Chains A and B, each alone.
Chain A
Amino acid sequence: MSFPLLVVVGMPLLQLGALILLGPLLSWWAEKGRAFLSGRSVTPFRLASRRAFGAVKRALQNGLTPGVALALAMVALVFLALPGLAPVQLAGASYVQAVLGDPLFLGLLLLSASAFLGARLTPASLGGAVLVLCVTESLFVLAAPGVNGLEGARVLLRAGPNPGLEGASACCALALGFTGAFPMAASLEVSSDRASFSGQSDERGEASRASVFRHDLDERRAFLAFLQTGWLLLIGDLLLPGLEGESLWGGALAFLARLGAAAAMVSLLQLSGTERNARLAALLAGLGFLLALSGRFAA
């Protein structure tokens, strides 16, 4: 590796920091965008961001419960491993992304993170998301044999246009949106594992237990912002795999554009009421297969 260790470690950490800063905004949009666009009054963004950053600050001061800590560690790994911010000139800096940026790996990490955070999905959503992720992995290999995950696809698309790969990847992003695996705050449940938290059974014990539940739920709702950001990053990288800037600032712009496209897609699906539609997901997965095969036979 011709790049110093500082760059190899620093670029992913920079991306991690940028995503933590952007997280509350994206999550606020994904959560409230529908109500906002239809003219209803929603929680202002500054309250949402204050809640999220306050939760992070408290977590760094006091520590978290092990399950939530594991979920956030998984999200952090996703933030590090997805190709986001790395610009063109520092191609070798994306070593972490090259060895970990596998769509199946990262998607299943996000699904298990949402399980550990307590954001529950219907069995159909979960199974559909797993199948769509398997299809994504297959299509990447099929459309561009020999590439290594999302980072490899980006390197390949830099070398020349590959419409089969781009189309298949975008189809997979849409299919992933149609499975309904994107976690929302409404899907957070009071964790049943906390039922034995406090041993007291009198009235005061009940009240304290309820407050513990409440606090726990609020905390996890704040952390859900980062999980949603991870999902948006994965969807954005799949949706526009070839978009990247020539310079450092261009790279940052492309990064923002990708996240924005993913947020727009998610809110569009919510507005049209199709965030959970198995037929459309299957249709888009099949279309992705067709595009990948046609691109492969055309090449």
Chain B
Amino acid sequence: MIQTDLPTLFLAALLLLIALFPTQGGSTHLVAAARANAWRVRARLSRIRSRVFRPPGAERLPVPESSWTQSPYAPEAALDHEAFNHETYNALRGDEFSGASEEAGTTDRLGLLCAALALFCGVPAGTALLAGSAVFLLQAPEEDVCPPAVALPALVFYALFPGVIGVLCLLPVLFWPGRRRPLLQLAGCFLAIGLALRITPAQPDLWLCGALLTMGALGIAALAVHPTPRAVGAFLPLRPMILLGLMQAATEAGLEASALAALAALVLDLALQTLGVLKPGWEGLLLPVPPLPGFLVLWLGLHSALGLATGAPGWTPGGLLLACLLGALSLAEGITLIPVLRGRRITVSFLLAAFFLPLLLGVLAFPLGVNLISPDMLHGFKWRSALWAFSGGDGALLALPLAWGVLAIFWVILFRPWRTVRVAGDQTASLVWPQPFLSILRQGTSVVPVLESKAVLQKLQKRFARRVLRRGLRVRAALAVVRPPISGARKRGWPDMGVSFWLLFLGLMLALAGWRA
């Protein structure tokens, strides 16, 4: 019972890629790495022991000093502009990003291997076992992981009922709110997608509703429980899930072009996430800014959702909602990525990858579509059109290579690379990620932007979570007791203008539209 279809192979190959090729730029000292690994394994074992043998209220064990624990928040460091480069930035924002630049250790490799094996394994019990061990191996010592009291029943439930509900039960285990490393989030994403892919027959409506509710609750909990700037990123695993649901729904409705667009977006999203973990400078590939492939994820997803909304009558409101959600998720991606990237150099290899990767992965979506959408996918395949323009599935075309070409021509005309005299250490001679946000505090030329100030963001997030909670309570109260409404008119003594005015306005507009039509 081994799954050997092409999508599983693709996902497992990406996971093994991270496991086999250590990331650059981290601590490369072998002895130190080995010692850190030993510390981590020991800490995990003792932690499990403490969980098993101690009451849950007991104090925590001392955490070993590994690289991601040394992250004191130092606000005065932010004000010193000269010292404010991205290394200080990573140190200042806590552990979220040092996980990406740190070398993958032995336990991480084992964890990724377990995740890949869980994808290959066709027996649900074995898959559940391997997924659980992957989560256990990939966690960092002081990370908040799913408590065993929740994780074990969920895993057992998946082993018994490996359907949509089973995979939805796995989601809290994979994405428990708290500080997380990108590696664990990535492995969880791959596991969820891979396990949901193999469910036949697909139930896209159940999958989409369940994933939205579960991931939305987990994301709001992450915002409330552990407010860091990266916590907005807790919503991001939702995007591949939405894309998967869109693909299945479009396949059911018979819209093969939309399904193919969603599949291309899914493939791009997963591959770019992998590359962002694999190579530290390449997180920016997922930024939803036009010439970069991250924009293509947004564009393809949006158009497949809208193609579904216009093509299948039952999906009109659902498709619109999903399109809006995809836009909001891209915004969240930008919010998490822009502060990290600011001030870093844009390298030539990054640009080459940003140009070639979408072309390769867009072509790769066709053979995957043979497996997932319909067997005669390759009949209408044309190399030239596939490489020249991306099709949104609803008639929309986007010739991204043409855009790259035009941008390159004008950039060379205006920049004149052959006339530039390069001075060592001169920042102006290289392309640097800009800072798009208006600063609130200015000290001469030093800049403390809004999203970099941890306190401001924490306050915002707490306020947001509290507001959501309060709204929920209010809705519950409204549902519980139906009271006679006290209208604003009676309270204030004059007729309530607002609602009637807008209703009149709306009626006028609709009448106008009907009259023109």
Q: Tell me the minimal C-beta distance from B345 to chain A in angstroms.
A: 10
Whole-angstrom distance between the alpha carbons of A63 and B295 in the complex? Answer: 29
B327 within 8 A of A: yes
Which residues of A are found within 8 Å of B402, using beta-carbon distances? 96, 99-100
Chain A CB within 10 Å, residue with most, of B320, B334, B436, B451 = B436
Do B434 and A298 have beta carbons less than 8 Å apart?
A: no
A115-B436 in contact given A63-B420, A134-B302 (Cβ < 8 Å): yes
Nearest CB in chain B: distance from A119 CB, A: 9
Select B517's contact among A67, A148, A164, A195, beta carbons within 8 Å. Answer: A164
Residue B438 interfacial (CB < 8 Å): yes
Which residues B316-332 have CB closer than 8 A to chain A? Answer: 320, 323-324, 326-328, 330-331
Q: A69 and B415: CB pair below 8 A? A: yes
Q: How far is the CB of A202 from chain B (nearest CB, A)?
A: 17
Q: Considering only CB atoms, which chain A residue lies closest to B438 in the complex? A: A120
With a cutoff of 8 Å between Cβ atoms, the chain B residues found around residue A46 in the complex are none
Is the Cβ of B290 less than 8 Å from the Cβ of A112? yes
Knowing A64-B414, A197-B427 are in contact, say whether A77-B406 is a contact too (CB < 8 A): yes
Please determine whether A146 and B395 come into contact, CB atoms closer than 8 angstroms.
yes
The segment out of B198-206, B273-281, B306-314 that lies at the interface is B306-314
Chain B residue contacts of A130, Cβ below 8 A: 288, 327, 330-331, 334
CB proximity to A under 8 Å, residues B495-512: 506, 509-510, 512
> Is A38's CB within 8 Å of the partner chain B?
no
Inside 8 A of A167's CB, which chain B residues have their CB? 509, 512-513
Query: Does A243 belong to the interface (CB within 8 Å)?
Result: no
Question: Which of A104, A161, A199 interacts with B516 by CB under 8 Å?
Answer: A161
Q: Are A148 and B434 in contact (CB under 8 A)?
A: no
* Interface residues as binary, A37-79 with B (CB distance below 8 Å gives 1, 0 otherwise): 0000000000000000000000110111111111011101100
Which of A68, A77, A121 is in CB contact (< 8 Å) with B436? A121
Q: For residue A120, which residue of chain B has the nearest CB?
A: B438
CB of B398 within 8 A of CB of A99, answer: yes
Distance from B436 Cβ to chain A, minimum over Cβ atoms (Å): 4
- CB of B349 within 8 Å of the partner chain: no
B residues near A20, Cβ cutoff 8 Å = none
Does B399 have its Cβ within 8 Å of any Cβ on chain A?
A: yes
> Is B514 part of the binding interface, using a Cβ–Cβ cutoff of 8 Å?
yes
CB-CB under 8 A from B309, the residues of chain A are: 141-142
Flag whether B65 is at the interface (Cβ < 8 A): no
Contact indicator B414/A199 (Cβ below 8 Å): no
**A102 and B299 contact, Cβ closer than 8 Å, known pairs A115-B435, A123-B451:** yes
* Bound form: Cα–Cα A298–B515 in Å: 10
CB-contact partner of B445 in A72, A145, A190, under 8 A = A190
Residue contact B343 to A193, C-beta cutoff 8 Å: yes
Say yes or no: is B416 at the interface (Cβ < 8 Å to chain A): yes
- Complex Cα gap A67–B429 (Å): 9
Q: How far is the CA of A225 from the CA of B288 in the complex (A)?
A: 25
Complex CA distance for A109 and B289, rounded to whole angstroms:
7
Query: A175 to chain B: closest CB distance in Å?
Result: 14
Total interface residues on A, CB under 8 Å, equals: 78
Give the contacts of A195-236 with B (CB-CB under 8 A).
195-197, 199, 213
Are A100 and B415 closer than 8 Å at their CB atoms? no
CB closest chain-A residue, reference B440:
A122
| Contact of B55 with A by CB under 8 A | no
The chain B residue sitting closest to A125, CB to CB, is B438
A131 at the interface (CB under 8 A from B): yes
Instruction: Select which of A77, A105, A146 is within 8 A of B398 by beta carbon.
Output: A105
- The answer to whether residues A141 and B306 also contact, given A121-B436, A147-B395, A149-B396 and a CB cut-off of 8 A, is yes
Q: Please tell me if B446 contacts chain A, counting CB pairs below 8 Å.
A: yes
Q: Are A138 and B320 in contact (CB under 8 A)?
A: yes
**A68 nearest in chain B by CB position:** B414
The 8 Å CB contact of A105, one of B295, B307, B328, is B295
A187 to B439, CA, bound (A): 10
Chain A residue at minimum C-beta to C-beta distance from B307: A141
Which A residue sits closest to B406, measured CB to CB?
A77
Chain B residues positioned under 8 Å from A250 (CB to CB): none
Judge whether A282 is part of the interface by a CB distance below 8 angstroms: no
Q: Indicate with 1 or 0, residue by residue over B415-443, a CB within 8 angstroms of chain A CB atoms.
A: 11001100001111111101111110000
Q: Is B450 an interface position by the 8 A CB rule?
A: yes
Residues of chain B contacted by A77 (CB below 8 angstroms)? 403, 406-407, 410
**Inter-subunit contact B407/A73 (CB<8 Å):** yes
Task: Report 23 cross-chain contacts, Cβ distance below 8 Å, ordered by A residue.
Answer: A63-B416, A108-B288, A112-B289, A112-B290, A115-B436, A120-B437, A120-B439, A121-B438, A122-B437, A122-B438, A123-B437, A123-B450, A127-B331, A134-B327, A135-B327, A145-B310, A161-B516, A192-B446, A194-B428, A287-B509, A294-B514, A295-B517, A298-B513
Besides A98-B397, A148-B395, A167-B512, 13 other A-B contacts (C-beta < 8 A): A59-B414, A62-B419, A63-B419, A99-B402, A122-B438, A126-B437, A130-B288, A134-B298, A137-B302, A196-B427, A213-B445, A291-B513, A299-B517
Of all A-B residue pairs in the complex, the 4 with the closest CB atoms, nearest first, are A134-B327, A163-B516, A63-B416, A73-B410
Which residues of A are at the interface with B, using a C-beta cutoff of 8 A? 59-60, 62-70, 72-74, 76-77, 80-81, 96, 98-100, 102, 104-105, 108-109, 111-112, 114-116, 118, 120-123, 126-127, 130-131, 134-135, 137-138, 141-142, 145-149, 152, 161, 163-164, 167, 187, 189-197, 199, 213, 287, 289-291, 294-296, 298-299
